[in-house]
């Protein structure tokens, strides 16, 4: 600002000085002209009047110079005033830079409604405790509403996502539950809740038969909470299942290759370790049938059906029992077993063909 006024002052001085110089030159020239040619034009102009005119011009020049000095004085005073203002501004700037503690302002109503609200930690704990209690009482809708309100007000609250995800899992909305629990894990949870989040994610993946990832998450649950017995039990069951699955695959491979002894040994070892595992009895019974040990085969297959089998294996168990009944010439029992096989597996062509042959035989006998 001071720099600007210095420039203005400079230009004003130059303009005034030029004007004074030009006016002086003009007056001096006029005086010289009049003096030199005074005798020739004395009849036209009065000498007294000329002197008076020169005097007036000189007086105007003096006034102009005086006015210029006054203007310059005012500019100096104004510049001094600006300097004082600059100093005040500098002092204000210095004060602005100093730390201060402003009073807390009240938010307007519209700011309260639209602004992000963060619930104090103590209040969050109370809300979480209430949501947990409602969830454990089976009041999922109420627990979900409270947790979802908390999530909207505290979008970085991992516990809010954890409770929402757990509720979705209990509602069997596994995909939504997984998304929410993964978000909770990402945001962070206390160790105990983190363990349960990993546990629930692991169980969800077991349902999807993604056993490797399920095992990884269950192990993380135990790592987060070594007292997590449910995760330990789930890991044990999963390990047993994977071991049985591997053994069964080997047994079936040996059987299909005609290596009945190797297949029988693996299946019998599995039966002894897992006496309630129906599939082991099914394989042993099927091998005994192939060896024409029908009585032993029937006994093992009936045991397998009693313990339970997947539908496809159950269908084959009934089919093999039907064939064994045909060999005994128990046609009604054979038909019963074969029909059950087709009911369980409508694509069971072997049982269908055997039933057609049985119908032809009975028509011929009839």
CATH class of the domain at 120-227 = mainly alpha
Closest CA to 305 of 250, 334, 344, 268: 344
- The predicted-structure confidence for 127-165, as pLDDT tens digits, reads as follows 888 888 888 888 888 888 988 888 888 888 899 899 999
Domain segments of the chain: what residues? Answer: 2-83, 120-227, 246-365
- Local confidence pLDDT in tens for the 366 residues of the chain: 544 445 555 555 565 555 556 655 655 555 554 454 444 444 444 444 444 544 444 454 344 334 444 433 443 443 343 343 344 333 333 322 222 222 223 323 332 222 233 334 446 788 888 888 888 888 888 888 988 888 888 888 899 899 999 899 888 898 999 999 999 999 999 998 899 999 999 988 988 888 889 999 999 999 999 999 999 999 998 888 888 888 888 988 998 898 999 999 999 998 998 899 899 999 999 999 989 999 999 999 999 999 999 999 999 999 999 999 999 889 899 999 999 999 999 999 999 999 998 888 778 776
- The predicted-structure confidence for 255-264, as pLDDT tens digits, reads as follows 889 899 999 9
* Sign, Cα dihedral of 157, 163, 167, 170: positive
CATH class of the domain at 246-365 = mainly alpha
Helices assigned H by DSSP within the chain: 2-36, 47-97, 109-114, 121-136, 140-153, 158-170, 174-187, 191-207, 211-224, 229-256, 260-273, 278-290, 294-307, 311-327, 331-344, 349-365
What's the predicted TM-score (pTM) here?
0.52
- The predicted-structure confidence for 108-129, as pLDDT tens digits, reads as follows 333 222 223 333 444 678 888 8
CA 164 – CA 140 distance, rounded (Å):
9
- Hey, do 120-227 and 246-365 end up sharing a CATH topology, with the first three levels equal? yes
């Amino acid at each position: 600002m001071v720099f600007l006024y210095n420039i203005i002052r400079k230009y004003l001085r130059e303009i005034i000085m030029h004007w004074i110089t030009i006016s002086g030159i003009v007056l001096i020239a006029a005086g010289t002209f009049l003096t030199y040619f005074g005798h020739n034009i004395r009849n036209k102009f009065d000498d007294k009047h000329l002197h008076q005119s020169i005097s007036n011009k000189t007086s105007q020049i003096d006034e102009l110079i005086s006015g210029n000095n006054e203007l310059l004085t005012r500019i100096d005073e104004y510049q001094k005033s600006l300097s004082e203002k600059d100093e005040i501004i500098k002092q204000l700037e210095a004060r602005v830079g100093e730390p201060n503690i402003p009073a807390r302002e009240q938010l307007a109503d519209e700011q309260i409604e639209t602004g992000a609200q963060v619930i104090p930690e103590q209040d969050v704990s109370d809300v979480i405790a209430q949501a947990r209690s409602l969830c454990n009482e089976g009041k999922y809708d109420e627990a979900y509403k409270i947790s979802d309100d908390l999530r909207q007000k505290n979008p970085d609250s991992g516990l809010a996502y954890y409770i929402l995800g757990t509720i979705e899992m209990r509602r069997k909305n596994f995909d939504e539950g997984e998304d929410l629990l993964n978000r909770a894990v990402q945001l962070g949870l206390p160790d105990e809740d983190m363990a349960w989040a990993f546990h629930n994610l692991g169980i969800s993946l077991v349902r999807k038969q993604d056993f490797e990832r399920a095992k990884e998450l269950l192990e993380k649950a135990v790592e987060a909470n070594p007292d997590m017995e449910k995760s330990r039990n789930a890991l044990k069951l999963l390990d047993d299942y994977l071991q049985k699955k591997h053994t069964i695959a080997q047994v079936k491979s040996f059987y299909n290759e005609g290596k009945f002894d190797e297949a029988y040994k693996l299946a019998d070892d599995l039966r002894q370790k897992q006496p309630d595992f129906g599939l082991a009895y099914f394989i042993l019974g099927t091998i005994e049938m192939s060896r024409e040990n029908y009585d032993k085969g029937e006994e093992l297959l009936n045991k397998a059906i009693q313990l339970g089998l997947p539908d496809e294996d159950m269908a084959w168990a009934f089919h093999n029992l039907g064939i064994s009944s045909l060999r005994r010439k128990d046609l009604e029992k054979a038909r019963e077993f074969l029909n059950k096989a087709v009911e369980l597996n409508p694509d069971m062509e072997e049982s269908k063909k055997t039933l057609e042959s049985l119908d032809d035989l009975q028509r011929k006998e009839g």
